[in-house]
Structure 1
Amino acid sequence: MIVSRPSDAFQPGELLNNTYRIEELLGRGGTSDVYKARSEISGRLVALKVLKSEFSGNDDYLVLLTREEEIREVRHDAVVRYSENHRTQDGHVYLLMDYVEGPGLDRKLKQGPMSAEDLLVVCRRVAEGLEAAHRRNIVHRDLSPDNIILRGGDPAQAVIIDFGIAKDTNPGAQTIVGNEFAGKYAYAAPEQLNGQTDARSDIYSLGALLLANYRGAAPEIGKNPMEVVRKKGEPLDTDGVPEPLKTLIERMTDPVPAKRFQSAADVLEYLRAPDQTGDTVEDDPDATVIVPPPRKVEPSEPPAAAPARSISPAPKRKSRGGVMAMLAALVLVLGGIGGYVFGAFDGLMGPAYPPADPFSLIVEKPGTSPASAVGYVPDDGMQAALDRMMAGLSGTAELTLASGAIEDDWSTDVLTVLDHLEPLDKWRVVMNGDKARVSGTTSDPALHDRVMAAFSAGLPGGLDGEVDIELQPVFLATEAVTSVLDELADCGALALPGATSVGFGPQNNVVVTGKVAETATRITLFDTLRDLAGDRDVVLDVEVLNPTLCLIESHLPDAPPGGIGVDYIVGDRNAPNPSGRFFVGENPVIDVVLPANMTDGYLTVSILDVSGNVFHLLPNLNRQDNSIAALRQGRDGEVSVRVAYGLDEAAQNGRLAFRVDDSTLGKSKVIVLHSAQPLFDGLRPTSESAVGYARALQDNFEADHNSILSLDSRLLETARP
């Protein structure tokens, strides 16, 4: 079992939405964690996939989670059943799914090779699940050993999980999530490196993981991007794999999608009759053709007699001329072959390079990291041009000469595109054959217009694709940011401590401070500013309260802090609680810490709870003297004053004590006021409306600005365990 950490979204024993009790953490990923939980209503075990808090407001990841939720329409025992997405009160987003008990194929991989018989059973089961998903146009895109669980350890009960592709950045997983590619290098199909994915990509991944589990080791993928691209263009090594698994894997993992099994149904058809391997691809130039041997002529079957004709002796000179002509032709043929082999005709025909399919190339200048060119080029002239370009940009080039299905002027056209892009701040070109995706950014309006004009008629030559050049101003205007803050502020004004008169420069972070009423506000604020800030980091130093506390905040007097501390203790255990978070059933004990220089005046302490009520801790009917002198009791220096007591102590002295119940959970606030004179004539009731009390404080402050010397506060949060 994975050990829980205090920073985890949920803790064992915690109850979500009054229904699901967390039992344990099953796994951690880069963007989400998975928990085992049990329904308090039905007793059914479930798995909860929870987005980490930093991604719960990110639309990209929410879309991925929503896509995964859509798998609930697929009803098959080999596909994990999903229910729906939920959001907790504090903003955590989780996806509910069936809990599948059993080892994953990743664990089996670590344990060593699996038998071919078991893997054929796994293949049949997973292919049936894929067929059901593909029928609804749902492609997994990340099929790998850790996404297949054997229920009860039974290969015939394999279950596909995790259709979201937003999960794993654990060491060694090598998962990439982005616009260009999603999947694991070791098991991803070659076309996924170029952003192309369909049902055949899942077929490839299934074949690759079958081979990995047979060998007990993941496929070798290379140590750099160029090696990955090269290896993905090669067939997988199936030496030593027994039939029919060997042919099955080869037919599933051909680097060329058109030469693979074209569907999960094709895989199942092969598994039903592996000895009848009828070709699914027509006119395969690499196919082995077996022809019957020539018929042996038996002695009893003499050759048919040639037709009778008259034969005249031929002149010797004519015969010698025919022989000489044949020899001359043979010399020419052999010379031509030798010249071709040794490159004598390269100047006329061009050298013959090995084919690459897909013919891919990625050239980019990211702006914050070195430029790079990775992929295939059709001639050494383009290779040299890109080498020079990367050297000028202090970048790297990992290029391979290859032939491919591209236009004759492909090199010239691609270099023309790069010439137009080179002056931009950032740019990227992704080529897949003649298809191109071109993007870039600049802060120069004239340059932006010039580059867009260059592509106004489309990409040059035979290239086809989209061009997206974004204009980003050098400075982000402060007014643009403050207008967002003003629009979204729901708990008092939000501040920009780093703002200048000219705005935010390219390297300036956008830092926001203040309070908001809900987590949803913080999420919206972050997403809106992120879209506005470009490459700048957005830092929200924002405290999330709740609507009730924010309403109170708007009525509190504007007094400076006085350095008074608030300490929390769990009364049941007499243990310090620096987090300020108390669970149902616990007894919060509260101490107010007076600084050494605070020796006169009066102290007023209240707690404003989430329900909108205020409880007066000091003064109250049981403790009416709230002067600093009385509270110090002759003690010098820093003095701790208890204002909320443990249950046992309160039973003896009649002071206030609390126990957390589940009726008012959330955030409350302890307010500590230091005043020169008692704030009110007489005592306030022990509890009252928080808004009414805040207005009374405000009226007092407006009548006498010197009445309140300081205001200090600290949050106290109550929750279910």
Structure 2
Amino acid sequence: MLESLPGDLFQPGDLLNNTYRIEGLLGRGGTSDVYKARSEISGNLVALKVLKREHAANEDFHVLLAREENIREIRHDAVVRYSENHRTPDGHIYLLMDFVDGPALDKKLKQGPMAKEDLLIVCRRVAQGLEAAHGRNIVHRDLSPDNIILRGGNPAQAVIIDFGIAKDTNPGAETIVGNEFAGKYSYAAPEQLSGQTDARSDIYSLGALILANFRGAAPKLGNNPMEVVENKKNPLDTDGLPEPLKTLINRMCDPDPAKRFQSAAEVVRFIDNPVADAAPEPEAEEATIIVPPSKPTPKPEATQEPKPKSRLPLVLAAVVLVGGGVGAYVSGTLDGVIGEKLPVADPFALVVEKADGTISASGFVPDETSRTTLADIATQTDLAIARGDIADSWALDIETVLAAVAPLPTWKLSLSGNSGTLTASATDANQAAMLEQAFGGQLPGALEGPIEVAFKLPVLTQETVTEILDQHANCGPLFANAPASGIGYAEAEPLQIKGPVADTATRVTLFDALRAEAGARRVILDVDVLNPALCVIEQHLPKAPPSTVDFAFSVGGEGNPNPSGRFYVGENPVIDVVMPADMTDGFLTVSILDVSGNVFHLLPNIGRPDNAVADLRAGQTGAVPVRVAFDLEEAQTNGGIAFQVDDTSLGKSKVLVLHSNAPLFEGMRPTTESATGFAEALQTSAAADTDRITSLDTRMLITAQP
């Protein structure tokens, strides 16, 4: 365990929610810390993942914890067991999970190479856990040595932890979170760097970490992101590995996902019987053939067109062979070889630019080959062949720059001789960072000048957001804040979503769908997570504006105010509806729609039929509280409705207050009925009651375990 610091959220000895006694700090992360604790009730050890103070109010991180909580549906000994999220009285959220006692593979990595036999056991065990996760369409995305713990130090008891991907998103952090990439560079599959992730990505990561632990060192992939991307295209170095480990790693970590093991089950089958599942060895002569992975499949020989060669490098090679280089070319020494002397261009200017999807090139080039190469790239050209004061590598350096900026939406390369500038804009933060870091902010080779890349998020259209909301609306309409431009959301403009959803799973998938489109924009989900019963009612509630009606909650028996509206098992919720001073006439209809799917009509009901505002005021002026749910002892004497929370129906209930200028429903509803029955009553009476209702106010009441 780590040494506790004064700034840590919890200290050893602290008691959370009267249940979990903190014993120490297991680890610190970018957004959360993990504590070891013991249940005061059962005596069992647990691990608590706690959001840091600065993220406790951030809706994005609440969703990440909610996603991790949902992984509790995976039941396998190789996957850490999760329980649920809890909130302390002062608002700190923590996720409860099993405590796994043992070293993580990153600790073993620091100690040196592990034995092949142990690693095959670990690989088989973890693959079985991944098979269980993938079977529920859950991909880890961040599998690395620190996320696998050997319970009791036993390889046969390996356990996968940390499915949350709630990592540090600060610049320079090892793990990036968002729609582009999630995972550590050293162990991430190549496709993850461009945002493509599926179960095969986890298989690659598992193979990469097994290789690292066999070598006793993490893979070296380069000094900057551009080098990482390039190196990821190559197979991992498995030279010297014993069989069957070598073949296993090769087939788990092929750069092409289609050539890997396609499932974790295939990994297990290979480990169990490597001979039967071994891939055929290539012919000896084929070993000398190198086929770049980015090239297309050749056409049949009979119809294949002549393949153009890389022209710019060949021009440079030819110049070197004659000995004089570009200097001789400029001076005219080679005129007898190449024919007519070319004009001298001073300055030797060239501009290649991409704007509005079109690439144009204008200026001077040293030969016909260079002009043809640029013509293949650009759709508009105005190029003249001339001599000039340029370096030997001028053409090759330009080709390097143009290959690097090709994916960007807009860019401009302006050169005068060997000096110039490259300006570009990127809508992908990773691409912008990689371009600048690959060249160190300067043009490559013999070229001199700065590279300036501006990152700018594309406008997110209101139509795109509305389409996502409509796809996920399962409990009434969802609404987004209107964009300032009226058309789309600008780079720094957050998305704020309001409305109800039927369950936590919908909230998570909605968040993921919005994050995939939002880029770096903040996504704020201000949504009510209801339940199917409440959603039935929600979609039939009358359309009426809210009023200034207030709600006052307190705990029965104690009389203590409970402004949070959260009540625990065994407590007695007391509810007062506070009529504002200007509400002096009409009628109040108060119901509570509980988590179990029942509706209780608190006012009016058979035991309390009078709901006229004037009678409820009883001559009082100003704001007047009206008790609608009573203290248990009080209810025994006056016959009012009282509730006590038990553990059979925990979740969200909704208190509903309708103010009308006439009684509703053409008669009194029963004291209790089903949500479906009440929804039908709302639908039946909608035509008559719509004009009678002047306001609709609601408030959530939450019941939970202590």
Given the two structures, how large is their TM-score scaled by the length of structure 1? 0.49
Provide Cα deviations, 1:198-233, integer angstroms capped at 9, x if missing partner. 54433566799xxxxxxxxxxxxxxxx88xx9xxxx
Matched, 1:202 2:213: yes
Q: Note the C-alpha offset of 1:132.
A: 2.7
Over 3 Å counting, the alpha-carbon distance change for 1:664 and 1:96 in structure 2 is closer
1:82 is aligned to 2:82: no
Aligned partner of 1:490 in structure 2 is 474
Amino acid at match of 1:417: A
* Post-superposition CA distance 1:32-52 (Å, at most 9, x none): 665779999999766587999
1:706–1:206 Cα change, 3 Å: same
Distance 1:592 1:164, change over 3 A: closer
CA deviations on 1:432-484 (whole Å, 9 max, x unpaired) are xxxxxxx99569xxxxxxxxxxxxxxxx9xxxxxxxxxxx9954443333333
Aligned to 2:267: none
CA shift in 2, pair 1:704/1:713, >3 Å: closer
CA shift in 2, pair 1:412/1:578, >3 Å: same
RMSD of aligned alpha carbons = 6.1
Q: TM-score, normalised by structure 2?
A: 0.50
Q: CA offsets, 1:541-580, max 9 Å, x none?
A: 3222112111112222222212111121122432222222
Could you tell me which amino acid in structure 2 is paired with residue 414 of structure 1? T
Map of 1:664 onto structure 2: 649
SS at match of 2:649: coil
Change (3 A) 1:103 1:520: closer
**C-alpha spacing 1:426/1:704, structure 2 compared with 1 (3 Å):** farther
**Any residues of structure 2 matched to 1:149-188 within 5 Å, and which?**
166=165, 169=168, 175-177=174-176
1:600 matched to 2:611? The reply is no
2:615 aligned partner:
630
**Structure 1 residues 263 and 682: alpha-carbon distance in aligned structure 2, compared to 1, 3 A threshold:** same
Cα distance change of structure 1 residues 570 and 87 upon mapping to structure 2, 3 Å threshold? closer
Shift of 1:602: 2.1
The aligned counterpart of 1:414 is 400
1:587 is displaced (CA, Å) by 0.6
Change (3 A) 1:260 1:408: farther
Aligned-pair distance for 1:634?
Answer: 3.0
Q: 1:609 to 1:261 in 2, by over 3 A?
A: same
Question: C-alpha separation between the residues in 1 aligned to 2:685 and 2:581?
Answer: 27
Q: Structure 2: which 5+ runs fail to align?
A: 88-92, 131-141, 195-203, 228-235, 247-323, 326-392, 414-423, 429-443, 445-455
1:479 partnered with 2:463: yes
Asked if the contact 2:38/2:44 (under 8 Å) is kept, the reply is: yes
Paired with 1:558 and 1:193, the residues of 2 have a C-alpha distance of 47
Kept in 2: contact 1:675–1:709 (CA 8 A): yes
Task: Indicate conservation of the 8 Å contact 2:83/2:96, yes or no.
Answer: yes
Q: Distance in 2 between matches of 1:425 and 1:511?
A: 33
| Distance of 1:630 and 1:46 partners within structure 2 | 55
How far has the Cα of 1:130 moved from its partner?
3.8
2:496 counterpart SS class? strand
Aligned counterparts of 1:507 and 1:569: Cα–Cα separation in 2: 42
Residue number among 413, 417, 424 corresponding to 2:410 in the alignment: 424
The yes-or-no answer on 1:525 pairing with 2:510 is yes
Conserved? CA contact 1:425–1:440, under 8 Å: yes
**Alpha-carbon distance in 2 for matches of 1:670, 1:260:** 69
Of residues 659, 662, 665, the one that matches 1:677 is 662
Find the aligned partners of 2:592 and 2:27 in 1 and give their Cα distance.
39
CA distance in 2, matches of 1:177, 1:473: 17
Aligned mates of 2:533, 2:210 — CA distance in 1: 52
Which residue pairs with 2:321 in the alignment? none
Return the offset for 1:712. Answer: 0.8
Alpha-carbon separation, structure 1, partners of 2:102 and 2:503: 39
Shift of 1:612: 2.5
Give the distance between the partners of 1:642 and 1:474, measured in 2 at CA.
53
Q: Is the 8 A contact 1:510 1:537 kept in 2?
A: yes
- What is the alpha-carbon distance in structure 1 between the residues aligned to residue 33 and residue 94 of structure 2? 11
Aligned letter for 2:605? N
Shift of 1:605: 1.3
* Number of equivalenced pairs: 463
Amino acid at match of 2:479: A
Instruction: Output the CA distance in 2 between the equivalents of 1:640 and 1:60.
Output: 37
Listed one character per residue, the Cα deviations across residues 53-89 of structure 1 (whole Å, up to 9, x for unaligned) are: 84687799879989x989x6xxxxxxx9436678899
Does 2:528 correspond to 1:543?
A: yes
Q: Which amino acid aligns with 1:201?
A: A
Could you tell me how far 1:644 is from its partner in structure 2?
A: 1.1
Equivalent AA in structure 2 for residue 82 of structure 1: V
1:679 Cα deviation from its structure 2 partner = 2.9
Amino acid at match of 1:424: T
Paired residue for 1:556, among 541, 545, 552?
541
Distance 1:29 1:701, change over 3 A: same
In 2, distance between residues paired with 1:175 and 1:503? Answer: 32
Give how far 1:589 is off: 0.7
**TM-aligned CA distance change 1:537 to 1:182, over 3 Å:** closer
Pairwise mapping of residues 261-340 of structure 1 onto structure 2 (< 5 A)? none
Alpha-carbon offset, residue 645 of structure 1: 1.4
1:506-525 matches, cutoff 5 A: 506-525=491-510
Residues 105 and 150 of structure 1 are in contact (CA less than 8 Å); yes or no, is this contact kept in structure 2? no
Question: Aligned with 1:710: secondary structure?
Answer: strand
Q: Per the alignment, do residues 158 and 518 of structure 1 end up closer, same or farther by CA in structure 2, a change over 3 Å counting?
A: closer
Q: 2-side partners of 1:181 and 1:492: how far apart?
A: 33
Task: Give ranges in structure 1 of 5+ residues lacking alignment.
Answer: 15-20, 73-79, 110-118, 209-224, 230-255, 267-346, 349-406, 428-438, 444-459, 461-471
Q: Does 1:690 align with 2:675?
A: yes
Write the distance in 1 (CA, Å) between the matches of 2:66 and 2:556. Answer: 44
- Partner Cα separation in structure 1 for residue 609 and residue 66 of structure 2: 57
Q: Does the residue aligned with 2:647 lie in a helix, a strand or coil?
A: coil
Give the Cα–Cα distance (whole angstroms) in 2 for the partners of residues 159 and 172 of structure 1: 36
**C-alpha spacing 1:59/1:101, structure 2 compared with 1 (3 Å):** closer
- The 8 Å contact of residues 572 and 587 in structure 1, kept in 2 or not, is answered as yes
* 3-state SS of 2:514 partner: helix
Q: Report the Cα offset of residue 592 of structure 1.
A: 0.8
* SS of match in other structure, 2:601: strand
> Aligned with 1:414: secondary structure?
helix
Cα distance per residue 1:465-504 (max 9 Å; x no partner)? xxxxxxx995444333333333332122222331565344
Equivalent-residue separation in structure 2 for 1:510 and 1:681 (angstroms):
43
Tell me the equivalent position of 1:361.
Answer: none
Secondary structure (helix, strand or coil) at the match of 2:479 reads: coil
Report the AA paired with residue 133 of structure 1. V
Give the match for residue 568 of structure 1: 553
Pick closer, same or farther for the CA change 1:103–1:476 going to 2, 3 Å: closer
- d(CA) in 2 for partners of 1:677, 1:485: 36
The structure with the largest alpha-carbon Rg is: 1
Alignment partner of 1:132 out of 118, 121, 142: 121
Pairs within 5 Å for 1:202-241: 202-203=213-214
Aligned partner of residue 176 in structure 1, secondary structure: coil
| Deviations 1:503-537 (CA, angstroms, capped at 9, x unpaired) | 44444444332222222222222222333344544
